[in-house]
Structure 1
Amino acid sequence: MANTFFVTGTDTDVGKTVVSAALLEAAKSKGLQTLAIKPVAAGCEQTDEGLRNSDALLLQKHMTLDLAYEQVNPVALDAPAAPHIVAANQGKTLSVSRLAGFCRGALMTKHDFSLIEGAGGWRVPLNVRETLADLPRELNIPVVLVVSLKLGCINHALLTAEAIRRDGLPLAGWVANRVQNDTLDYEDENIATLKSLLPAPCLGVLPFSSPLSIEKLSKSLSVAPLFAGV
């Protein structure tokens, strides 16, 4: 699966979807055909078309290919909680093999660059035996890490990168993201430390954006390092 990357974060609410959408825009600006998948989304609203997740809709808006919502977000869960808990409450069972099948089906569409966005952090459970980290392992794809610029980000980033490497996957790149308008004390020093210790290139540092402008944020990113080894 060349040029397909799994997007994870150091925690939940670190801006994985915003970063993913901005990466899609950055790739589109290079003339690339893009698609994105949010295999599991917990926290969906009921609409006339069925359950819809705002993160998945944002990805669908910023990818270049026209995929049905059900291909972008094949497993939509209503409550905004851990996916395995919500699924169990709805009498559903999540599995890596099923999610991998959904992803492979969507990825059959011809494209140049694709993202599969996780839910929460790296070790989010899917069931009693599997976590969402097993999905990129099953697909054998590299990982992009989103790091929220806040106190503790260095520890969270290094632990997540270590877990990714222990799972046998390469860290292809990482993005520093300002989720809030407050500037982290010693922000430049924190970013410099992350650049020196994380075993992958920094794809960019995203400013806080309000109102949200994915197009503007995309100008702070470079997808070129993701293609360096291709």
Structure 2
Amino acid sequence: MKEFFITGTDTDAGKTHVTSLLLKLLAQHKKQAIGFKPLASGCEMAFDQLVNADALILMESATVSAKYDVINPFAFAPAIAPHIAAEQAGVTITADNLSSAYKNVKQQGADYILTEGAGGWALPISNTDYLYNWVKAEQLPVILVVGIKLGCLNHALLTTAHMQSMGINCIGWIANQVDPNMDEYQANLDSLKLRLPFPILAISPYSEQTPKLQIYKTLLENFALNT
């Protein structure tokens, strides 16, 4: 089983967009893949339960089916930081109950599990803990989604520096063009390629039609899709 954690440089970097494209890539290669969205806020009631649009996208893109509460075990209505929403709802999020939820995902029979984080890399899950500590405890390889927009250099460099300080296994980054009108898009992309300590895996150019993913060999190698 291959497992990956997809994080972003900030809350609007395009984690769901990229995770969905990666699940579809695995589907094209006839792989059994599932998405996992452990934490989600900004949920709405449907079928007598809170559901999140991003989690539903992951479910639609996966080749392995599971019940909604397996894919998204912690769902909160307010569109605020999950640890604040959890406190308001009287729910405690810990690394242990995240790991218990993750075990449920592992039991669904997938060969690939793509876990999408919430917000950016340094996401609190309580007043004393962060989601990245759970990622490190589970020893999950990390893929960083960089939202290509003004400020992306600072966000990406700070995020990767923190990962390196923790000894996180970041296998690479994916550029997601979120601003179609960004000045000097290519120059910023080149600057990231030059400065980031991890290899680029793919580029998702901005598109109002069918989303596409320009794939680098390193991604295929990490996903074992090169044979």
Fold shared, TM-score > 0.5 on shorter chain = yes
Q: Please, which of 197, 201, 204 is the counterpart of residue 202 of structure 2?
A: 204
Q: Paired residue for 2:79?
A: 80
Tell which deviates more after alignment, 91-100 or 34-43: 91-100
Cα distance, 1:224 vs. partner? 0.5
Q: Normalising to structure 2: TM-score of the pair?
A: 0.92
CA deviation map 1:77-119 (0-9, x unaligned) = 1111001111111111111110111012211332222211100
Amino acid at match of 1:13: D
State the match for 1:227 in structure 2.
223
Which residue of structure 2 lines up, in the alignment, with residue 89 of structure 1? 88
What is the alpha-carbon distance in structure 1 between the residues aligned to residue 195 and residue 6 of structure 2? 19
d(CA) in 1 for partners of 2:189, 2:128: 35
Count how many residue pairs are aligned between Structure 1 and Structure 2.
223
Q: What are the within-5 Å matches in structure 2 for residues 14-163 of structure 1?
A: 14-163=13-162
Cα offsets for 1:174-228 (capped at 9, x unmatched) = 111112322x2222121122112222221221122325x3xx424x235404236
CA positional deviation for 1:144: 0.4
Match of 2:187 among 182, 189, 198: 189
1:217 alignment partner in structure 2: 212
Q: 1:47 to 1:109 in 2, by over 3 A?
A: closer
Quote the Cα distance in structure 2 between the aligned partners of 1:169 and 1:63: 26
Q: Which amino acid aligns with 2:193?
A: K
Is the contact between residue 25 and residue 62 of structure 1 (CA under 8 Å) also seen in structure 2? yes
Unaligned 5+ residue runs, structure 1?
Answer: none
Superposed CA deviations along residues 37-58 of structure 1, whole A, max 9, x for unmatched, are: 0001011001124101000000
Q: Which amino acid in structure 1 is aligned with residue 156 of structure 2?
A: A
The amino acid across from 1:200 in the alignment is F
Q: Distance in 1 between matches of 2:106 and 2:197?
A: 27
Secondary structure of 1:177's aligned partner: strand
CA distance in 2, matches of 1:14, 1:142: 19
Aligned-partner Cα distance in 2 for 1:93–1:227: 34
- Which shows bigger deviation, 4-13 or 190-199? 190-199
Q: Is the 8 A contact 1:173 1:226 kept in 2?
A: no
| TM-superposed deviation, 1:12 | 0.5
